Structure 1
Amino acid sequence: MSLIPKETVDQVLAQADITEVVGDFVSLKKKGQNMWACCPFHHEKSPSFSVSPAKGIYKCFGCGKAGNSVQFIMDVEGTSFPEAIKFLAKKYNIEVPEETQDPEYAREQSERDSLFIVSDFAAKHFQLRLTDQEQGSIGQSYLKQRGLSSSTIRKYELGYSLDEWTDLTDSALKAGYQQKYLEATGLTIAREDGKKYDRFRGRVMFPIHNGSGRVVGFGARTLKSNDKKSPKYLNSPESDIYHKSNVLYGLFQAKQAIRMQDMCYMVEGYLDVLSLHQGGIENVVASSGTSLTEGQIKLIARYTENITVLYDGDAAGIKASLRGIDLILELGLNVNVVTFPEGEDPDSYIHKVGDAAFKSYLKEHAQDFISFKTSLYAEEAAGNPVKKAEAIKEVVASIGKIPDAIKRSVFFRSCSIIFDIDEQVLISEYNKSQLQGRQQRSGGPDESAFAPPSAPEPEPEKPATDQEVLQRYEREIVRMILHYPDSVLEEGLTTSSYMLEQLDDIEFVTPLYIQIIEIVRAKLNNNELPTADDFINYPKEEIRSEAISLLSEPYELSHNWETHHIFVPKESDLLAYGAERAVLRLKWRNAEILLKAQREKLRLVTDPTEVDRVLNLIISLNTFYSQLGNMLGIVVNR
Structure 2
Amino acid sequence: MISPNTIQQILSRIDIIDVVGNFVKLKRRGSNYLGNCPFHHEKTPSFTVSPSKEIFKCFGCGKSGNTISFIMEHEKLSYVEALKWLANRYNVEVEETETSPEKKLAQQTSESLFIINQFAQQFYSHQLFETDEGRNIGLEYLKERGFNEDTIRKFGIGYAPEKRDVFVKEALHQQYNPELLQKAGLAVERQGQLVDNYRDRIVFPIHNNSGKVIGFGARLIKNNEKAPKYINTPENELYVKSKILYGTYFARHAIDKADECLLVEGYTDVTSLHQAGIENVVASGGTSLTQDQLRLIKKYTRNLTIIYDGDAAGVKAAMRGLDMALEESLNVKLVLIPDKEDPDSYVKKVGATAFRNFILHNKKDFILFQIEVSLKDAGTDANKKAAVVNQIAETLSKIDKTEDFTRQQDYIRQSSELLHVDETGFTNLVNKFIRNRISITENKIPFDEARSIEENARQAAENNYSDQTFNLLFKDDLQEREIARILLEHGYKKWDDSQLIAQHVLTEIPEEDLIDNEVIVKFIHTYKDVLADQIKPDKNYFLYHPDPVISTLAVSLAYFPYEESPHWKRELSQSTGYQKSLFEQDYKDFINSLRPENEEDLMSFLNMQKDTTNEEVESAINYLKLRKVKRLLLENQQDLEKASSGEQQTLFLTHVHLKQMEIELSRKLGSVVIK
| Short-chain TM bin | 0.5 to 0.7
> Shift of residue 286 of structure 1?
0.5
- Structure-2 change in CA distance of 1:131 and 1:414 (3 Å): same
> 8 Å contact 1:416–1:426 — kept in the other structure?
yes
The answer to whether the aligner puts 1:484 opposite 2:468 as a matched pair is no
Matches of 2:326 and 2:298, distance apart in 1: 12
Equivalent position to 2:20, from 2, 17, 20: 17
TM-score after normalising by structure 2: 0.60
CA distance in 1, matches of 2:10, 2:421: 71
* Residue-by-residue CA offset, 1:63-114 (whole Å, 9 max, x unaligned): xxxxx8589989639659666522x46xxxxxx699xxxxxxx999843223
SS at match of 2:132: coil
Q: Distance in 1 between matches of 2:380 and 2:424?
A: 22
- 1:343-422 aligned at under 5 Å gives the runs 343-403=340-400, 404-422=404-422
Relative distance call for 1:554 and 1:481 in structure 2 (3 A) is closer
Instruction: Give yes or no for contact 1:73–1:84 (8 Å, CA) kept in 2.
Output: no
Q: Which letter does structure 2 place at the counterpart of 1:432?
A: K
Match of 1:249 in 2: 246
AA at the equivalent of 1:85: A
CA distance in 2, matches of 1:437, 1:304: 27
CA contact (8 A) 2:157 2:202 kept: yes
**Shift in Å, 1:441:** 4.7
Which has more helix, going by share of residues?
2
Output the CA distance in 1 between the equivalents of 2:562 and 2:621: 28
User: Is 1:85 paired with 2:92?
Assistant: no
What is the one-letter code of the residue matched to 2:210? Answer: S
Structure 1 residues 579, 429: closer, same or farther in 2, change over 3 A? closer
Contact preservation (8 Å) 1:307, 1:333: yes
1:264 matched to which residue of 2? Answer: 261
Q: Distance in 1 between matches of 2:530 and 2:79?
A: 32
Q: How does 1:49-128 map to 2 (within 5 A)?
A: 52-53=64-65, 55-58=66-69, 69=71, 76=78, 84-86=86-88, 88=89, 110-128=108-126
Match of 2:196 in 1: 198
State the SS of the aligned residue for 1:148.
Answer: coil
SS at match of 2:320: helix
Cα displacement (A) at 1:213: 1.1
Instruction: Say if 2:230 is the partner of 1:230.
Output: no
Structure 2: distance between partners of 1:512 and 1:198: 60
Cα shift readout 1:145-186 (whole Å, capped 9, x = no counterpart): 111111111111111112233333333343354444433322
Question: Do the aligned partners of residues 72 and 381 (structure 1) sit closer, same or farther apart at CA in structure 2, a change above 3 Å counting?
Answer: closer
1:132 counterpart (130, 143, 146): 130
Paired residues of 1:267 and 1:309 also in contact (CA < 8 A): yes
Q: CA 1:396 to 1:550, structure 2 compared with 1: closer, same or farther past 3 Å? A: closer
TM-aligned CA distance change 1:501 to 1:301, over 3 Å:
closer
What letter matches 1:398 in structure 2?
T
Matches within 5 A, 1:179-194: 179-190=178-189, 193=192
- Quote how far apart the aligned CAs of 1:417 are: 2.0
Give unpaired runs (5+ residues) of structure 2.
25-37, 50-61, 94-103, 448-480, 508-524, 566-612, 626-663, 666-675
Q: Which amino acid aligns with 1:132?
A: E
Task: Report the 3-state secondary structure (helix = DSSP H, G, I; strand = E; otherwise coil) of the residue aligned with 1:135.
Answer: helix
Q: Residues of 2 paired with 1:314 and 1:358: CA distance?
A: 18
Give the length in aligned residue pairs: 486
Tell me the residue number matched to 1:456: none
Instruction: Return closer, same or farther for 1:133/1:388 CA change in 2, 3 Å cut-off.
Output: same
Matched residue SS, 1:553: helix
Amino acid paired to 2:263: M
TM-score, length basis structure 1: 0.64
Verify: 1:281 aligned to 2:283, yes or no: no
Equivalent AA in structure 2 for residue 170 of structure 1: K
Which residue is 1:533 aligned to? 540
Q: 1:527-572 deviations in whole A, cap 9, x for unaligned?
A: xxx74336767xxxxxx537x7644329979x9x999x9xxxxxx9
Structure 1 residues 362 and 342: alpha-carbon distance in aligned structure 2, compared to 1, 3 A threshold? same
In structure 2, distance between residues paired with 1:496 and 1:536: 24
SS in structure 2 at match of 1:112: helix
Residue 150 of structure 2 is aligned to residue 151 of structure 1: yes
Which residue is equivalent to 1:518? 534
Query: Hey, what's the Cα distance between the residues in 2 that align with 1:155 and 1:495?
Result: 62
Query: Could you give the per-residue CA deviations for residues 590-633 of structure 1, whole angstroms, max 9, x where no partner exists?
Result: xxxxxxxxxxxxxxxxxxxxxxxxxxxxxxxxxxxxxxxxxx99
Using the alignment, how far apart are the partners of 1:291 and 1:202 within structure 2? 28
Percent of paired sites with the same residue:
33
Partner SS for 2:307: strand
- Structure 1 pair 551–379 and aligned structure 2 pair: CA distance change class (3 A): closer
Letter in 1 for 2:539: A
Deviation for aligned residue 1:238: 1.0
Contact residue 184 and residue 236 of structure 2 kept, 8 A: yes
Residue 78 of structure 2 aligns to a residue whose secondary structure is helix
The answer to whether the 8 A contact 2:16-2:67 is kept is no
SS of 2:146's equivalent in the other structure is: coil
- Matching residue's letter, 2:380: G
**Judging changes above 3 Å, is the alpha-carbon distance between structure 1 residues 237 and 325 closer, same or farther for their aligned structure 2 residues?**
same
- Structure 2 counterpart of 1:202, which letter? D
For residues 175 and 182 of structure 2, what CA distance do their matches in structure 1 show? 15
- How do residues 539-554 of structure 1 correspond to structure 2 at under 5 angstroms? 545=546, 550-553=550-553
571, 577, 580: which one aligns with 2:618: 577
- TM alignment of 1:580-599, pairs within 5 A: none
Please tell me whether the aligned partners of residues 79 and 112 of structure 1 are also in contact (alpha carbons under 8 angstroms). no
Match of 1:293 among 281, 290, 314: 290
Task: Find the residue that maps to 1:397 and give its secondary structure.
Answer: helix
Flag the 1:501–1:553 CA change in 2: closer, same or farther, 3 A. closer
Give 1:28 shift.
Answer: 7.5
What one-letter code is carried by the residue in structure 1 that aligns with 2:148? S
In the alignment, the residues of structure 2 paired with residue 500 and residue 439 of structure 1 have an alpha-carbon distance, to the nearest angstrom, of 52
Q: Contact 2:68–2:83 (CA<8 Å) still a contact in 1?
A: no
Aligned in 2, Cα 1:180/1:34: closer, same or farther, shift over 3 Å? farther
Amino acid at match of 2:20: D
Kept in 2, the 8 Å contact 1:12–1:85? The answer is no
